[in-house]
Structure 1
Amino acid sequence: MLDLYKNIKQLREEKGLSQDELAKLTGYTSRSSIAKIEKGEVDLQQSKILAFAKALGTTPGKLMGLTEFDGIQPSTTLAAHFDGDEYTKSELDEIRQFAEFVKNKRKDSTV
């Protein structure tokens, strides 16, 4: 959780915000609260992490130092949606055949 506090300070400085300004944006009454947070002396509730992320223009995950996928490989979904009148039936058949060709080519290369 230490990354969270370092990232708050770093992003605040990058954005040119004072501790007073960040305090106001996140619902605190004084800069001393922000100073304590940046030193890691205060545990933040989830709602406050969200407030800091919003004030600093980032996501809670990035603020906490998590990687984009946190070690999980993203799945890839590829889909095509057609209105039905932009391609002829023959062209749609050709698109389907090409997609099948690509899948089969992949299968052939793993053998």
Structure 2
Amino acid sequence: MSLTNKLVELMNERGINRSELAKGAGIPYTTIVALFEKGSENTKLSTLKKLTTYFGVSLDTLAGEPEEMNRTDPAHREKEEWTEEEIEEIKLFKEFLKQKRKKQE
């Protein structure tokens, strides 16, 4: 399955469009459009990392061949399991932990 097909699958699971993906993942909308229209051959690693973080999947899963999506982020295992507000709180907590880790380094 191609990267764009996997992205479409993940977006459908979340019920989001390209604009919402761009906003949620922190990627310029024009980058998302180019990814879908021009292909993913020259996609920057930083863009791929943002997508994997947003969807809670590994880079291997997103860009590789495995058909099964191995979710690494518990907030994304079951769409119905978390409300949008809870997901936002989880994202904020993740950012808090990242900042805390940076301060300790």
TM-score by length of 2: 0.50
Q: CA RMSD in A?
A: 2.4
Distance change >3 Å, CA 14–CA 38, structure 1 → 2: farther
Letter in 1 for 2:28: T
Residue 44 of structure 1 aligns to a residue whose secondary structure is: coil
Output the CA distance in 2 between the equivalents of 1:17 and 1:23: 10
Q: Does residue 62 of structure 1 match 2:49?
A: no
The structure with more helix, counted as a fraction of residues: 2
Q: 2:36 aligns with which of 30, 35, 38?
A: 38
* Structure having the higher Rg: 1
% same residue? 23
Equivalent in the alignment of 2:12: 13
Instruction: Detail structure 1 runs of 4+ shifted over 3 Å in the superposition.
Output: 39-42
Output the CA distance in 1 between the equivalents of 2:36 and 2:7: 7
Distance change >3 Å, CA 53–CA 40, structure 1 → 2: farther
Pairwise CA distance, 1:35: 2.6
Q: Report how many aligned residue pairs link the two structures.
A: 66
